[in-house]
Amino acid sequence: MRVPALILLLYVLISGCNPAGSNGPVYNPGPSGNTKYASRFDLYPEEDYTLIRVFNPWQNSKGTSYSYVLGEKQEVLPDSLKILPFIHTPVSRVIAMSTTHVAMIAGLGESSSIKGASGTPFIFNPDIRKRSEAGMVADVGYGQGINYEKVVSLEPDVVFLYGVEGNVTSIAEKLGELGIQVVYCAEYLEQDPLGKAEWIRFFAQFYCRQKEADVLFNKVDSSYQALRSITSRELKKPNVMIGLPWKDTWYVAGGRSYASRLISDAGGHYIWQDNTSDEAIPMDLESVYSKAVNADVWINPGVAQSIGELIAFDDRFGELDVLRLGNIYNNNARMSPGGGNDYWESATLRPDLILADLISVFHPKLMRDHSMFYYRKLK
């Protein structure tokens, strides 16, 4: 069901929101139902424009949302919507502050619109890397190290921005003062794998490629559902552990997290499944070891390239059955020369390929002919 933009705006005004500037937070009444899985954005298409909203775009930002109006002519908007930021579409010059933004834009066939990016050496996409090396894609820096002069010189139609914490608003405000249009993105906070992938529909609004995005997303959705269905009758589920400690602290993915959902859909049992958090939880190594002794499979062990590296990291790992059996798989099969990992780039758009890899690990008999794409077995 589509909620007309005017009705939405009336709701926002009744709720007493204050835009607090060109991109200020407003009260979040929740998505209208125009997305299938995503919970961090919604769309309200009208004949001459589309109102889009982004919800809770950084951690601990509950109750915050940002609204933008996209279209060809601002003059056709009702006066009530002219208080919101307007972005002329289709855009032709953008800056992507995350590799996932790069993947979404490239997935739409619009990679040539990317004129700037954050951390270009860590981008996996070969075309973007090639254009970066040729000086056609500038590295604009990150966080407090953003090169604002470079951003302005690129004359972007929009900067796709994300933030881990609320201090990202200071970056948005600075860019706004320089006359740069900023749009918050929150795809990385989606806990449903298909919710992340559905952000292709969000980016499509800026390029007027809604039909192409719907076709692509529906294919991914169908593929994911078909793969998930083949594990539904598997009664024996391997116990799965995930991650690697950092400075004596193991940040364990919560039981309601993106990683946990993928493990479950692939027919595995996440050993912290009973945890109700959707965020990473810091734990001491001893607490993790007490659960890890029951693990049958270990996935995503950080930057580890081999089992030997894991033992060198902490010799207690050598006592785990999962290591002795060699059932360790890392999501770093696709790496760029600069260290960019495609799992954190194109995999956002292709959770079906991740799922296929994990099913082949947890239930190899179900995927006898599958060649792993994002994962590889450590030796």
Whether the pLDDT of residue 26 is over 90: the answer is no
| pLDDT given at position 40 | 95
**Max CA distance (Å), the chain:** 69
**pTM of the predicted structure, to 2 decimals:** 0.90
For the beta sheet containing 239-242, the strands, ordered from the edge strand earlier in sequence to the opposite edge, are 269-270, 239-242, 297-299, 328-330, 376-377
Q: Which domains does the chain have, with CATH numbers?
A: 5-219 (3.40.50.1980), 230-377 (3.40.50.1980)
Report H helices in the chain: 5-14, 99-107, 126-133, 148-153, 168-177, 193-197, 199-207, 210-229, 258-265, 285-292, 307-313, 321-324, 351-362
Condensed to tens digits (0 to 9), the pLDDT of residues 125-178 reads 999 999 999 999 999 999 889 999 999 999 999 999 998 888 899 999 999 999
State residue 179's pLDDT score: 97
**H or E element in which residue 65 lies:** strand 65-71
Q: Looking at the predicted structure, is the pLDDT value of residue 20 above 70?
A: no
Q: What is the pLDDT of residue 314?
A: 87
In tens, the pLDDT along 253-264 reads: 999 999 999 999
Closest CA to 38 of 200, 223, 212: 200
Distance from C-alpha of 349 to C-alpha of 110, rounded to nearest angstrom: 15
- Helix or strand or coil: residue 51? strand
Residue 103 pLDDT > 90, yes or no? yes
Tell me, what's the pLDDT at 266? 98
Range in 248-252, 293-297, 375-379 with the lowest mean pLDDT: 248-252
Structural tokens at position 61: 């930002």
Give me the residues paired with residue 299 across strands.
242, 329
